[in-house]
Structure 1
Amino acid sequence: MGSNSSTLATTNSLIKICRDHKGGINWMSLSPDGCHLLTASEDCTARLWRTTENQCCRVLQGHSSYITFCHLENEVAFTCSADNTARKWEVATGQCLTVYTGHTSIVNRILVSRNLLFSGSYDRTARLWDVDSGRSLQEFQGHRNCVLALAHFSSSDILESSDMDMKEFLVTGSTDCTVKIWEAFSACCFQTLRGHVGAILCIVLDVPNKELFSGSTDYTIRRWNMVTGDQLKVFRDHQGSVICLEMVGQHLYSGSVDRTAKCWLPDTAECVRTYKSGWKGIGL
């Protein structure tokens, strides 16, 4: 899960330690302006910290079970929890503004994009919510196991024609070993990407190239065409589950429970650098 303290550090020197949580930290999110850090904990609270201090300035209380994930914007924050709900909070006061109820099991991911709120759950569904009212607008049904990864894009991101109505799309990754692409407002699934033989833990989009990458417990990363659904490449150098992915410029970065991070050339699936940890922590 996480440690019971969150640390802001430079390359070589510890500059601040934020303590107060009574349980492990499952996720952290930095505000776009860099002024606040939000931490989500096993102790059922989220805590807001000013990045210039080591004192907690807000405690977000209301969830009845551990918080799995959080997302921080400059004025509002979002959390989701094993209590089957997500919540929206006011940063200035710590007040809960909206509770999103409808899922029937743990909500493990939320995604906020262009005033849309998506959530993924162990109940095998994802949902689209009205951010302000908390009303569920769509339920995405089709996965045969829990939804662990979310991504979002718009038709304007991948289509050159400006004559078409803009549509919003949700990408979901599941422990049923598939990735699905949905039209957000109709909840229609138009692509199911099959090839992994393990749970999908992470997804990253390369929108300019109309591609996505998925990381899995099968130790691989796979590259897909978002429009056709074709599998383009398989990245096979990790020796453990791939738990995070990031696109930076012309390179793909991955992190794994094999205690390495890797840098890849996306077009060829060539690993050009491996970052190894000397830490001998618990085996995963």
Structure 2
Amino acid sequence: MGSGSSKRKDKSHLLETLKEHKDSIMCLALTDDSSLLVTGSYDTTACLWSTMSDATECLGILIGHTGRIVCVATSMTFVYTGSEDSTIKKWDICTSDCIFTYSGHVSQVNRIMCAGDFLFSTSYDKTAKVWLQQVNNASTQEEVLVRTFEGHTKAVYPIIFLPGQDTGGVNEEGLKINPSDLVITGSTDTTAKSWALDMGICLKTMQQHTGPVTCMDTGAQGKLLFTGSDDCTVRVWEVSSGRCLRELRGHNEAVTCLKAVQRMLYTGSHDSKVKCWLPESANCTRTFKISTNFGSVTAIQIYKGILFVGYTDDVARAFDAKSGSLKRVFQGHTDSVSCLAVWANKLYTGSSDGTLRVWDVSNISTETSSEESEDELNHHVELDFDLERYLGDDVDQNSKPDE
């Protein structure tokens, strides 16, 4: 199947422009082995793209949703897509066939995530749900629905699963759920909630934000929860107690995304800045700024010590995570960069312009300058704190994109 691509390699480092989608690309995910990339679009389809070949090929188009696709996830040889049509579909990667349609939400599905035997979803209908991944054409909705978490008063968006100590057994329902397995949800009702997966009950409600909770992540040990909000702040919570330990202030507008990398926390905002924090001390160690002030941050990713950032000014940029220097600028989209992933020296950017672009990121750590405007070339990030003695080698040199 053709990819609808135009290929070139020049000083902008653009390798390919892939035009299979007919509307905005809003989400993407790599498969477990990173051999395939899945993109979801407002055109109601998802596309499967090869990542191992020299030229990126469209290997399949997933057709079946009646509303825009807003989230995708992968597990083994399967793809899951969540849609504005209130359903989640499971697809076979090899055949592009729809295996099962999960129906239970009554409004748009906002986020989906795979972990263990389960599929997790959140929705505009104020609930989060847990489903069995193991399904077939004969499965019923009642059989595959494991839990419904009700308690939020507005739409639920980010969701995290924290596995507890593995007991090696099954619960009374015959499910592989450990007593300490936790699910955490964030909502536009300004709260985050932790839930016991085994009992299906809310354990803690974390409520000190004054705006919607837009994004979440956890520390390496799963003991700390980081939440970003429309109220311009990031909060650090103790998961076990639900207690707010710290408030990170510094952004001037809504926090749109965040990523914990070992002892560091990176946050992106509508104010066009990415900030790096030491969560244990609430110190902002560095602010990654661009010369324009109209590019909201849409996505961030750390890969081999490089911070990749997507913006609404139609551009993606790469910074050295340790020194803060601007290493490369990826310019070519005609609308916002909505999502990105990095793998095998290639950056994949999905955009509201409907295209997936593939960029060369090889040798990026050795470059001394970018190809952007003179303004940006001469711009230096703010150094708010002496980062060197704290960061050291903490940036994971082998980190992979979110799956």
Structure 1 unmatched runs, 5+: 158-164
Is residue 31–residue 75 contact of structure 2 (8 Å, CA) maintained in 1? yes
Q: Does 1:185 align with 2:198?
A: yes
Counterpart amino acid of residue 242 in structure 1: V
Q: CA offsets, 1:126-171, max 9 Å, x none?
A: 01111123521111000000001100102229xxxxxxx5432110
Cα RMSD of the aligned pairs, angstroms, is 2.2
- Kept in 2, the 8 Å contact 1:138–1:186? The answer is no
SS of 2:221's partner is helix
Q: Which deviates more, 68-77 or 90-99? A: 68-77
Where does 1:241-280 land on structure 2 (aligned, <5 Å)? 241-279=254-292
Counterpart Cα distance in 1 of 2:75 and 2:232: 33
Q: Secondary structure at the match of 1:208?
A: coil
Name the residue aligned to 2:156.
147
Specify the alignment match of 1:161 in structure 2.
none
Q: Is the 8 A contact 1:74 1:91 kept in 2?
A: no
What is the letter of the counterpart of residue 206 of structure 2?
Answer: L
Match of 1:226 among 234, 239, 249: 239
Shift of 1:211: 0.7
Distance in 1 (CA, whole Å) between partners of 2:71 and 2:270 is 19
Tell me the amino acid that sits aligned with residue 149 of structure 1: P
Give distance in 2, aligned partners of 1:26 and 1:115: 26
Counterpart-to-counterpart distance in 1, 2:289 and 2:78: 37
Structure possessing the higher relative contact order (Cα contacts under 8 Å, 6 or more residues apart): 2
1:75 aligns with 2:77: yes
Are residues 12 and 227 of structure 1, via their aligned partners in 2, closer, same or farther at CA, if it must alter by over 3 Å? farther
Among 122, 127, 130, the alignment partner of 1:128 is: 130
Q: Is the 8 A contact 1:139 1:187 kept in 2?
A: yes
TM-score by length of 2: 0.64
2:185 paired residue number: 172
Count residues with an aligned counterpart: 270
Within 2, Cα distance between the matches of 1:237 and 1:228? 26
State the 4+ residue runs in structure 1 displaced beyond 4 angstroms.
279-284
Q: State the SS of the aligned residue for 1:156.
A: coil
Structure 2: distance between partners of 1:31 and 1:154? 21
Deviation at 1:278, TM superposition (A): 3.6
Matches within 5 A, 1:17-56: 17-51=17-51, 52=53, 53-56=55-58
How far apart are residue 29 of structure 1 and its match? 0.7
Q: 1:143 to 1:209 in 2, by over 3 A?
A: closer
Q: Specify the structure having the higher radius of gyration (Cα).
A: 2
1:98 is aligned to 100
Q: If the length of structure 1 is used for normalisation, what is the TM-score?
A: 0.89
Q: Would you say 1:138 and 2:151 are equivalent positions?
A: no
Match of 2:305 in 1: none
Distance in 2 of aligned mates of 1:281 and 1:237: 18
Equivalent of 1:240 in 225, 236, 253: 253
Distance verdict in 2 for CA 1:46–1:278, change over 3 Å: farther
Does the 8 A contact of 2:271 with 2:295 survive in 1?
Answer: no
Alignment CA distance shift 1:129-1:74 (3 Å): closer
Secondary structure of the 2:165 match is: helix
Further displaced range: 21-30 or 269-278: 269-278
Residue 25 of structure 1 deviates from its aligned partner by 0.7
Q: CA deviation at 1:185?
A: 3.0
Structure 1 distance, partners of 2:256, 2:200, is 27
CA distance in 1, matches of 2:197, 2:70: 23
Q: What is the SS of the residue equivalent to 1:63?
A: coil
Query: 1:262 offset after TM fit, Å?
Result: 1.1
Q: Deviations over 1:50-93 (max 9, x none)?
A: 12323311101111000010112441111100000111111111
Can you list the C-alpha shifts for 1:214-242, whole angstroms capped at 9, x where unaligned? 00000100000000111000011111111
1: CA distance, partners of 2:33 / 2:149: 33
1:57 counterpart SS class: strand
Instruction: Write 1 or 2 for the structure with the bigger share of strand.
Output: 1
**2-structure distance, mates of 1:247, 1:280:** 25
Do the aligned partners of 2:78 and 2:91 also contact (CA within 8 Å) in 1? yes
Write the deviation string for residues 78-110 of structure 1: whole angstroms up to 9, x where unpaired.
110000011111111111111110100000101
Contact in 1 for aligned 2:215/2:227 (Cα 8 Å):
yes
Residue identity matched to 2:148: E
Please give the per-residue CA displacement for 1:164-183, whole angstroms capped at 9, x wherever unaligned.
x5432110000000000001
Consecutive unaligned residues of structure 2, counting only runs of 5 or more, are 136-140, 167-177, 297-311, 313-403
Deviation at 1:281, TM superposition (A): 5.0
The separation in 2 between residues aligned to 1:32 and 1:270, in whole angstroms, is 35
